[in-house]
């Protein structure tokens, strides 16, 4: 038996898989965007949100779909700035916070039996089946459309939605991040400086597994702080 058909398939399937995967991503996402810093959302109502630390708009949509709870042990507390602080306007400061409760929950990991079941799934077995068609091999590689991959790697763990407001403007600035700190970039800092009034920043947080809020994982309201920016 000639090795040429086998080699052709070995080269063709990965190439087609890469092209199909790229097409699926573009179609699902609608446009490319980077959530690691200043990404955008396909939801017009979230177009102004700054995404950092790998945060995704799917997780933010899940957070905003549920009324937040006031549980002090699960909410956030600011380390900086202090409430009532007057911040110099020449450089953007780092805003830092932490979860009030000492014991922070972590997203549950898949049980070993679930991981074994995934490895034994029909799609995984098709790759090893002799004589499988190229279409079948592509189907096994790609599987169904993965909506969770549309806008970045799904969040597993805590994420934080920061909202900056003034008495006259709500919201002034919105940030969704997986980090326990946020430093405004030049554009964001200019927007805050231009407010010309005391600014209140509040945080809503939740615990996610694959962009979904886990049972009992929030969202939770944090303790806000108010600060002013000196000229």
Let me know if 183 is exposed, middle or buried by CB neighbors in 10 A (0-12, 13-18, 19+): middle
Q: Which fold has domain 33-107+156-229?
A: Immunoglobulin-like (2.60.40)
Q: Quick one: average pLDDT of 35-54?
A: 72
Question: If you average pLDDT over residues 122-150, what whole number do you get?
Answer: 42
Buried b (16+ CB within 10 A) or exposed e, 109-137: eeeeeeeeeeeeeeeeebeeeeebeeeeb
The pLDDT assigned to 147 comes to 35
pLDDT at 101: 84
8 A C-beta contact, residue 172 and residue 191: yes
Task: Judge whether residue 153 has pLDDT over 60.
Answer: yes
pLDDT band at 43 (very low <50, low <70, confident <90, very high): confident
Which of 43-52, 183-192, 196-205 is least confident?
43-52
State yes or no: pLDDT of 173 exceeds 90: yes
Specify the domain boundaries for CATH 2.60.40 within the chain: 33-107+156-229
Distance between start and end Cα atoms, the chain? 80
pTM for the full model? 0.64
Residue-level pLDDT at 73: 93
Q: Is the pLDDT of residue 32 over 90?
A: no
């Amino acid at each position: 038996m000639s090795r040429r058909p086998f080699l052709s398939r070995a080269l063709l399937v990965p190439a087609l898989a890469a092209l199909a995967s790229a097409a699926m991503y573009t179609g699902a996402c609608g446009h490319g965007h980077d959530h690691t810093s200043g990404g955008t959302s396909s939801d017009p109502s979230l177009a102004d949100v700054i995404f950092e630390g790998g945060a995704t708009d799917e997780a933010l949509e899940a957070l905003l779909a549920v009324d937040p709870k006031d549980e002090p042990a699960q909410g956030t507390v600011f380390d900086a700035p202090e409430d009532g602080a007057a911040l110099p306007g020449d450089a953007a400061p780092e805003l830092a916070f932490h979860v009030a409760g000492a014991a922070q929950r972590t997203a549950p990991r898949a049980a070993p039996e679930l991981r074994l079941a995934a490895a034994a799934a029909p799609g995984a077995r098709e790759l090893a089946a002799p004589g499988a068609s190229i279409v079948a091999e592509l189907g096994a590689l790609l599987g169904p459309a993965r909506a969770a991959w549309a806008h970045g790697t799904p969040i597993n763990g805590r994420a934080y939605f920061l909202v900056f407001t003034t008495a006259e403007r709500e919201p002034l600035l919105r940030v969704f991040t997986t980090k326990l700190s946020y430093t405004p970039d030049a554009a964001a800092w200019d927007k805050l400086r231009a407010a010309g009034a005391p600014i209140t920043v509040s945080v809503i947080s939740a615990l996610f597994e694959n962009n979904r809020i886990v049972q009992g994982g929030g969202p939770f309201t944090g303790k806000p702080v108010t600060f002013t920016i000196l000229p």
